Structure 1
Amino acid sequence: MDTAAVRRRLKATAALLRLDEVAGRLRGRDLTALVARADEVMADTYTFSKTWDMERCRTPFTLPAGAYDWNVVNNDDEEWCFMLNRMDYLEDLALVALATGEARYAEKAAALLGSWIDAHPTIVPELSTRTLDTGIRIRSWATALPALEAAGALSDELLALVVASIGDQIAYLREHYVPKYETSNWGSIQTLGILTVLATIEDDPASDGDWAWATERAESQIAAQVYPDGIDWEQSTMYHVEVLLYALCALSTLEAQGAPLPRGLRKAAARLSRALAAQMMPDGCIDAQGDSDRTDVRGLMALCAGVLGDCALAAASGRSELDPGDLFAFGCSAEDALRSAEECGEALPLTFDGMDSGLFVARSSWGADANLTEFSSGPLGSGHGHSDNLHVTAVYQGSPVLVDGGRYTYREDSSVRPFLKGPLAHNVPLLDGRSSCVPKGSWGYSDFGYPLKTYARHAGGAHYFEGALVGHDPLHVLVRKLVALDCGIWVCADEALAEGEHELVSRLHFDPEVRVEAVGDGCRVGCAAGELALGSTGALELGSEQISLDYNALSDAALVQARIRFAERGGQLWWLAPAGVAVTSVPVLRGGTEPVDPALAEAVRFDVAPDEFYTVAVFHGEVYTGVKAFALEGVSFHAKAVVVHGVGEKRELTVLRA
């Protein structure tokens, strides 16, 4: 390819991004962390702690200046080498060069480009050239190139080498493409990365033979990977985000350059964005669901709003500016679009029912002090998916209380890794304290249960989720029926059916910042928003386990287990309610007068004020004999789950499960 033509293209891309204006906007913002990262690289020192680094390592390692071994393994983890070879730190260097006007940052980026190319005269399989990292690397090169060209850091010789290497790497990706990439984030990152790169450096990218191949594969991947409800099939929020990021990048670049879009790309990006927003906790973070970290997604929501022009996403982000790295990569037009969308005032729905993925969310508001519930019970997904069927995450007035255990590491020799993937690391019911879902090593499973479809209903300020998991040895069914009230009360009925005598165990993991202590038959739960009371009809046992909210990091966290013995069929209730709320068991009356056996139905009353209460009733089985008319707090009903809200003499019935 003619280097003069590539230079013209890079200048045109810089004009589309309005890099001169980007530089001015950046100088008015806090770039302390960004400059610190760039300065580390200037000293040949690397940490990987950016928001969407897939395998973070906060421990610094210094490489020999000018003599990199691009296959080096540090931190006893090959993932460190993979992070090094993704080379997204080139974007940091180019951005800082643009913002500060200091050419040395651009010159360092150019030197690193030359070093990598010199070390890879041909692209062959090795640690430094995994296909995933190759797709990420060429996209990072393309993002940095317009700014490096503007800084005068690209000699004719280096630019020719870069263009040739990009061509070699794309050929390598095509040669090593395998069928599993159709449903893997590895595949979409590669193909969408190729399209982004070609649209950046070529005048007529659609005439390139690689363009047609990448487009065809991207269209197939989009259809396969993104469920109709907008959740990525791999069942891991971190990798949902990776697919979304590359979709946004390709969408923005191709539209700006006037290149044709793969079929379904914009709709998929919109669905992925809305589904991610639904999972955002009130503090702006996602829970560490699947192979994920506790990560703030508000900056990404702002980017989604800017690229897609989505008013509701703009409101959810609470931002009027893009993060510096996003402004650099996507340009001023994306930030201008964010500001325009911000003025629309549209709000996202308060509930999300992922009927395809099995992920359900309900929140009391979009405020920072909202109460939120996530219920997860869907298909396993990929190797990044965890056996978290029937898991519940609970956030009280903006403070995470019950949380997911995270992932910690991908190392095959770690015993923590398969444990955190397994049911014991999640907030789930278990038969005899074990499960049919058995992780094997870092990526596989030796066994798994059969999840049934979740039932969900939202009525006013009450939400109901019901899921079931079929296990074996012995054959059994675990059922969870969860009622979440917007006022900050959770009532859960865990049930099990199995021949013989067994123990039902409900495991509850708390955020590391939450303090739990035993008080009488229950527990006092202290979080930043205040105190809650945890109670159960089973026996509560308080302990602790380690969870991981960040890759390569473990934290001690409280664990509470509720236990009950049963024969053939049994269940227990557990609940969380604000401290000070009086909690009492009340009868469900058959025919208005006869208390039913608790084995059939149970009810708990929560007095939230002197003249206001909520009473929640859940049936554990079908009513097939006797009178089928029931009453609760003087209100008649026939249903399997109801809430009665009383204020003074007024009573209001809400049916959640018929």
Structure 2
Amino acid sequence: MTSLAWKVNRLRLMGLAEIAWRVKQAVSMKAGGLGFGLALRPPAPDLDRSGARFVAQPPAMIDSATVCTAAERILAGQWDVFALRGAPLGFPPQWNRDPKTGTVAPMISGKLINYRSEQQVGNIKYLWEPNRHLELVTLAQAWRLSGDERYRDGVRTLLQSWFDQCPYPQGVHWSSALELAVRLLNWAFAWDLLGGMSSALFDGVDGQRFLRQWLDVIYQHCDFIQGYFSRHSSANNHLFGEYAGLFVASVTWPQWPQSARWQAMALRGLEREAQLQNCPDGVNREQAVYYQHEVMDMMLLCLLVGRANGIKFSPAYTQQLERLAEFLAALLDAGGHMPMIGDGDDALMVRLAHQPGWSPFCSLLASCALLFERADFKRQAGRFDEKTAWLFGAAGAALWEDLPVVDAAPPRLAFPDGGYFLLGHRFGRADEVRLVMDCAPLGYLSIAAHGHADALAILLSLGGEEFLIDPGTYTYRAESGWRDYFRSTAAHNTLSIDDCDQSVIGGNFMWLKKARARLLAHSAEGALQVVEGEHDGYARLADPVMHRRKVELDTQANCIVVTDTVSCAARHRVRLHWHFSEHCQVALHDGRAEALGQRSSLRLHCEGAEMAVLRGGAEPGPGWISRRYDRKVPTATVACSVAVHGTTTIRTVITFQPLPG
């Protein structure tokens, strides 16, 4: 898509108020580029004022060797940035050089840089990621655990190099308010771990000079954020992150007269957006589970930082966090797998855990188990993880032990506001069946930036083992075609008409026409369970088509019947795709797809369809799964093709059983 076409599509999704606001922002950016309205000389900080410490004294369960090993890799100049593992970026790195393409971003006013242009800045996600400074927290943790001054001095080396290479307001790291906000979150945690104002980093004349320089840049970050909040159709998780960064910074560093205003502004924004961006039933409106995790993490961190400083959030805020946790608990299967619904980019607000196999979702449930004294959350979380240990300390570990060990129980099965419905039985047990059906909106606000065209898709886990999956996101780069494939209808366990998507893509993070899904029936009690829904995404075709799907689960017969009805008048080519976990062995036998897992087997037969197994083609298309950003591996997709003429019903029968032994 050309830049002009993108701009036209973006304009189509704006109202007059947003257009006026963006014109005003453009004028402000131009003025900033000319040196007007900048915080070039921050006011002197009041060094007698400082926020309360909020990082807990870590309990003995923290593995200091693992943390120090991670810190040593950083000191050795080895960085993990998405698909790049152990990349030799140096210590300190070149902060304006994209580690993937080698492109060096220009040193002009950050607000005049087109960070979407790969020619100008390289791959912006790879360039921004190290500049969020999660590594500073790792070094600070290692110092806190070991007392080795090399780690503490490493924090200063990285910060000083960043100040030198990225002077306010020059370069791409002064272009996105969200990036500044996440950087502030990590600076706040590193600051606290190193001892705050009493840190030996600030001893002597040189130390005091470094302290003043850091505080000046913190002030400039806060001033920048409060002038460039994401608004209107962009007011999604970015806006939440901007408020979170400003809140934590204004609480941690209350040294300026403006700090109180920033804190009040951010607190109001967090309270408001916690309700606007999340459904009453606990589903984040972006319809992207990983972004739900990010919003929850920011809610949690702000809540804990606020509590340590005597700042209370409303009961509505904390209740919303608990409801969000209930949705995660409902989706998490007995094996600890979380479906990859919607976009996901592997982002962490702050990296506090380094233990192998750490799960951000289980960690959130562990923290919420302590916050709300929920034994069911404790059961789903499985363990008291390192991140929760840093946040709650020894008192949290004691409370964890005091929470009772409870038997598995059914989670909430209906999320009518968010649009997700569960069927299944023996939840949380070794022989559980957990099926999720998507009757959700496409996404949030007019652009629905992080939604996927997945209406009426189903996901299936058997005994804690994934079978029918969502293949994930893979990339945010549109040029290769993979971005559009992974969010397409063909990339989900649902039905497409004439190889069209249910919703119409308008850009990299933009949808023009959006399928509207609605629930028709949901009964999750007894041996025979049913969920049924429909969507109008294909009503836009010359011969309008409605898609209705009914899913019936017979828990006694271990059988699922999926009945798809396409209501139309003319001829159409209907395709159903069934995406399997990469851990399943899938093959066709006698017109049926057989999938063999490690503990269960499954058979799938689509009546009257031509069936094929697709795996890992060179062009964007079925047969791939991406569990990490910018990495994909082949998997099996069963493609079923049916030619229809007029209203037709297509029946898919899925049977499953545990393997012997």
Q: TM-score range by the shorter chain?
A: 0.7 to 0.9
- Tell me the alpha carbon deviations over residues 322-349 of structure 1, each in whole angstroms, 9 at most, x when there is no partner: 32x3422444444443333x32738664
- Tell me the alpha carbon deviations over residues 374-415 of structure 1, each in whole angstroms, 9 at most, x when there is no partner: 111211113111011011111112111110011111113121
Residue 595 of structure 2 is matched in structure 1 by 525
Alignment of 1:479 with 2:548, yes or no, is: yes
Residue 80 of structure 2 is matched in structure 1 by 47
Residue 648 of structure 2 is matched in structure 1 by 570
Q: CA separation of 1:39/1:528 partners in 2, compared to 1, >3 Å: closer, same or farther? A: same
- Percent of counterpart pairs with the same letter? 21
SS in 2 for 1:285: coil
Give the one of 216, 220, 229 matched to 1:168.
Answer: 220
Alignment of 1:93 with 2:126, yes or no, is: no
Q: CA separation of 1:332/1:202 partners in 2, compared to 1, >3 Å: closer, same or farther? A: farther
Taking the aligned partners of 1:413 and 1:559, their CA distance within structure 2 comes to 24
SS in 2 for 1:512: coil
CA contact (8 A) 2:336 2:464 kept: no
CA contact (8 A) 2:496 2:502 kept: no
Alignment of 1:543 with 2:614, yes or no, is: yes
Residue 418 of structure 2 is matched in structure 1 by 357
SS in 2 for 1:240: helix
Taking the aligned partners of 1:529 and 1:98, their CA distance within structure 2 comes to 43
- Tell me the alpha carbon deviations over residues 146-194 of structure 1, each in whole angstroms, 9 at most, x when there is no partner: 2212762343332222222222111100111132377411111111222
Q: CA separation of 1:180/1:367 partners in 2, compared to 1, >3 Å: closer, same or farther? A: farther
Residue 523 of structure 2 is matched in structure 1 by 457
Give the one of 213, 222, 232 matched to 2:284.
Answer: 232
Write out aligned runs for 1:170-319 (5 A): 170-180=222-232, 183-202=235-254, 208-261=260-313, 264-292=316-344, 297-319=361-383
Taking the aligned partners of 2:430 and 2:162, their CA distance within structure 1 comes to 45
Per chain length, whose mean CA-contact separation is higher, i.e. which structure has more relative contact order (CA < 8 Å, sep 6+)? 2
Q: CA separation of 1:106/1:361 partners in 2, compared to 1, >3 Å: closer, same or farther? A: farther
Write out aligned runs for 1:335-346 (5 A): 335-340=397-402, 342-343=403-404, 345=406
Shift of 1:552: 1.1
SS in 2 for 1:264: helix
Taking the aligned partners of 1:262 and 1:119, their CA distance within structure 2 comes to 41
Residue 560 of structure 1 is matched in structure 2 by 638
Amino acid at match of 1:339: E
Residue 439 of structure 2 is matched in structure 1 by 377
Shift of 1:118: 3.2
Amino acid at match of 2:655: A
TM-score when scaled to structure 1?
A: 0.79
Write out aligned runs for 1:54-65 (5 A): 56-65=82-91
Taking the aligned partners of 1:300 and 1:385, their CA distance within structure 2 comes to 22
Structure with the larger strand share: 1
Taking the aligned partners of 1:195 and 1:454, their CA distance within structure 2 comes to 43
CA contact (8 A) 2:337 2:466 kept: no
- Tell me the alpha carbon deviations over residues 531-585 of structure 1, each in whole angstroms, 9 at most, x when there is no partner: 222123222333222221221111111111233333321112112212599xxxx
Q: CA separation of 1:17/1:502 partners in 2, compared to 1, >3 Å: closer, same or farther? A: closer
Give the one of 475, 486, 489 matched to 1:409.
Answer: 475
TM-score when scaled to structure 2?
A: 0.79
Cα RMSD after superposing both structures: 2.7
Taking the aligned partners of 1:440 and 1:129, their CA distance within structure 2 comes to 24
Alignment of 1:503 with 2:573, yes or no, is: yes
Taking the aligned partners of 1:361 and 1:38, their CA distance within structure 2 comes to 42
Taking the aligned partners of 2:330 and 2:70, their CA distance within structure 1 comes to 31
CA contact (8 A) 1:132 1:186 kept: yes
Structure 2: which 5+ runs fail to align? 1-43, 102-122, 347-358, 616-622
CA contact (8 A) 1:508 1:560 kept: yes
Taking the aligned partners of 2:147 and 2:631, their CA distance within structure 1 comes to 37
CA contact (8 A) 2:333 2:428 kept: no
Q: CA separation of 1:201/1:369 partners in 2, compared to 1, >3 Å: closer, same or farther? A: farther
Give the one of 143, 146, 153 matched to 1:107.
Answer: 153
Residue 514 of structure 2 is matched in structure 1 by 448
Residue 489 of structure 2 is matched in structure 1 by 423
Shift of 1:256: 2.3
CA contact (8 A) 1:57 1:80 kept: no
CA contact (8 A) 2:418 2:441 kept: yes
Taking the aligned partners of 2:213 and 2:604, their CA distance within structure 1 comes to 63
Amino acid at match of 1:478: H
CA contact (8 A) 1:428 1:506 kept: yes
Residue 190 of structure 2 is matched in structure 1 by 144
Q: CA separation of 1:387/1:464 partners in 2, compared to 1, >3 Å: closer, same or farther? A: same
Taking the aligned partners of 1:103 and 1:378, their CA distance within structure 2 comes to 52
Shift of 1:518: 1.2
- Tell me the alpha carbon deviations over residues 439-484 of structure 1, each in whole angstroms, 9 at most, x when there is no partner: 3442223443332345322112443211112112121101110112
CA contact (8 A) 2:55 2:192 kept: no
Q: CA separation of 1:17/1:220 partners in 2, compared to 1, >3 Å: closer, same or farther? A: closer
CA contact (8 A) 2:423 2:530 kept: no
Q: CA separation of 1:263/1:82 partners in 2, compared to 1, >3 Å: closer, same or farther? A: farther
Residue 84 of structure 1 is matched in structure 2 by 130
Q: CA separation of 1:32/1:290 partners in 2, compared to 1, >3 Å: closer, same or farther? A: farther
Shift of 1:137: 0.8
Taking the aligned partners of 1:157 and 1:442, their CA distance within structure 2 comes to 44
Taking the aligned partners of 2:372 and 2:251, their CA distance within structure 1 comes to 19
CA contact (8 A) 1:532 1:576 kept: yes
SS in 2 for 1:313: helix
Shift of 1:433: 3.7
Shift of 1:372: 1.0
**Which structure has the larger Rg over C-alpha atoms?**
1
- Tell me the alpha carbon deviations over residues 309-365 of structure 1, each in whole angstroms, 9 at most, x when there is no partner: 33321122122x232x3422444444443333x327386643431211212233421
Taking the aligned partners of 2:544 and 2:442, their CA distance within structure 1 comes to 20
Alignment of 1:75 with 2:100, yes or no, is: yes
Taking the aligned partners of 1:181 and 1:476, their CA distance within structure 2 comes to 29
